[in-house]
Structure 1
Amino acid sequence: MNSADGTPLAVDVTPGTEDGTVLFAHATGFCKEVWGPVQDLMVGRRTIVSFDARAHGDSGDPGPPYDWWDLGRDVLAITADVGTPILGVGHSAGAAAMVLAELLEPGLFEHLILVEPIIFPGPPIRVEGHPLTEGALRRRPSFASLDEARANFAGKAAFARWTQDSLDAYVRGGLRRAGDLWELKCSPDSEADFYRGAVATGAWDRLVDLTVGVTLVAG
């Protein structure tokens, strides 16, 4: 599947027996597979759809700068052929993508579950030196084995509360073979560039236009 600008999008679909769709979108630096353990609890009900964001996982990378409104357009491309009603579930950048899609096409979703959506208030923040950008640039880009990658991630504070299944899903979907190494599908540079694009959406001032019900999750 391609987005409106031609960027290839990797999409997974698990058919359900009930009407409607649950669409999952991951955070910056991750991949569609991280939602797998959650989706396993829902199999057999609504159709489940998840996708790799542009420059992530197995989706195409148009290169920086990344316009986050394109993330919303990616969601529109994916939802064009799915069953309704659509429940959107997104984390961080994935949550922002859901909001941007709803602003582009009001009424797209029946409800949104947004986990720590990246939508900044007020004037643009300074991204150079921001903890999100700097943290991305410090990420280790490659590993000698998947076991080494798993051990590395498990020792990081960001993964301290992840279940083993969730961590395994990230290792399985977030790295690719590159010669003798395993490298992150979303490189540290791409992840940092992705965060740089977060400040220019202007979406905060348009949140008042949202009419869809929203459940916010943080912590």
Structure 2
Amino acid sequence: MSSDQVSVAIHEFGGSGRPLLLSHATGFHGYCYLPIADRLNDRFDCFALDYRGHGSTPRPDDWQVDWDRYGDDALAAARAIAPDGGLVGFGHSMGGAGLLMAAQRDPGLFDLIIAFEPIVFPTDVDRSESEPSMMVEGARRRRESFDSFEAAIANYASKPPMQAFDPDVLRLYVAHGFRPAPEGVRLTCAPEHEARTFETGAAHTTWDLLPEIHTRVVVIASGDEMGPAEVAPKIAERLPNSVLVEQPDSNHFGPFIDPAGTADLIADFALSIPTP
């Protein structure tokens, strides 16, 4: 149970070994990372969470988006999975920020966090929401329903960015990111909720707390030239126990495009941690 009486959905993907928590990006959900988990279940006991308003976790009535509450969700899921610590976390975009918030609040929880371009921005910049954002406007224009699951898959597979996604990731995004509705199927993450999450992504103060996080963190930066990729090296610099890994041939959707490569990266770094 998280704050605001939110019951966080935790998906058990199975496997054996050290517990691994997969933490999703804005607008997605935990099942999008099942293709990664499937490649790791001989080495990890794999789990994923859905943040409030995403996937199977409800958004409280009249809740205004507050990224600190996403940190509460990550903390609740991590404590449920590994109450005695020893957890490995992989966080993508918003999910990376959520895991960093959880690690700051409970320092003994994680042995390692791999954060793929976490949404953590410097607090000394203008946080005005007046500037237009392609991500915000794209979320608000997102089509909310389709006649069927198959129609949704066909739509996303025909245009960027999802046309580049691994087919299993795209299939799982639709299968677990839509619910039956009178008109066919409808998104579980409402477009306005996704848009507000993007709009307020620079409003939390996790940047100021980074020096307090002594958990080992691997920060991944893609080859994008702006946004989260541009900030990722600065995040690594502020974390006391971190390493920066650059993937110039990737982009912000890298874990969805190349789940096999992402699984290899997680395994390579986690293998260097002493087994509890």
TM-score of the two chains, using structure 1 as the length reference: 0.92
Give the whole-Å Cα distance in 1 for the aligned partners of 2:41 and 2:159: 31
- State the match for 1:196 in structure 2: 199
- State the match for 1:33 in structure 2: 31
Which residue of 109, 125, 129 maps to 2:127? 125
Give the whole-Å Cα distance in 1 for the aligned partners of 2:201 and 2:36: 26
1:105-124 equivalences under 5 Å are 105-121=106-122, 122-124=124-126
- State the match for 1:212 in structure 2: 215
Alignment partner of 1:142 is 2:141: no
Give the whole-Å Cα distance in 2 for the aligned partners of 1:88 and 1:124: 31
Q: Deviations over 1:102-153 (max 9, x none)?
A: 1112232111111121112233433342222111101111111111111111
Give the whole-Å Cα distance in 2 for the aligned partners of 1:49 and 1:24: 6
- Displacement of 1:88: 0.7
Give the whole-Å Cα distance in 1 for the aligned partners of 2:157 and 2:128: 30
RMSD of aligned alpha carbons = 1.6
The answer to whether the 8 A contact 1:96-1:118 is kept is: yes
The answer to whether the 8 A contact 1:10-1:52 is kept is: yes
- State the match for 1:87 in structure 2: 88
- State the match for 2:232 in structure 1: none
Alignment partner of 1:24 is 2:19: no
Q: Deviations over 1:14-66 (max 9, x none)?
A: 34432x31001111111111001001111243221111110011101014421
The answer to whether the 8 A contact 2:13-2:37 is kept is: no
Q: Deviations over 1:133-176 (max 9, x none)?
A: 11110111111111111111112322132111111110111111
Could you list the runs of 5+ residues in structure 1 that have no partner in the other structure? none
Could you list the runs of 5+ residues in structure 2 that have no partner in the other structure? 223-250, 252-276
Which stretch shifts more, 186-195 or 202-211?
202-211
The answer to whether the 8 A contact 1:64-1:193 is kept is: no
Aligned residues: 217
- State the match for 1:42 in structure 2: 40
Give the whole-Å Cα distance in 2 for the aligned partners of 1:21 and 1:48: 6
The answer to whether the 8 A contact 1:127-1:133 is kept is: no
Which stretch shifts more, 182-191 or 107-116?
107-116
- State the match for 1:65 in structure 2: 64
Counterpart residue identity of residue 104, structure 2:
L
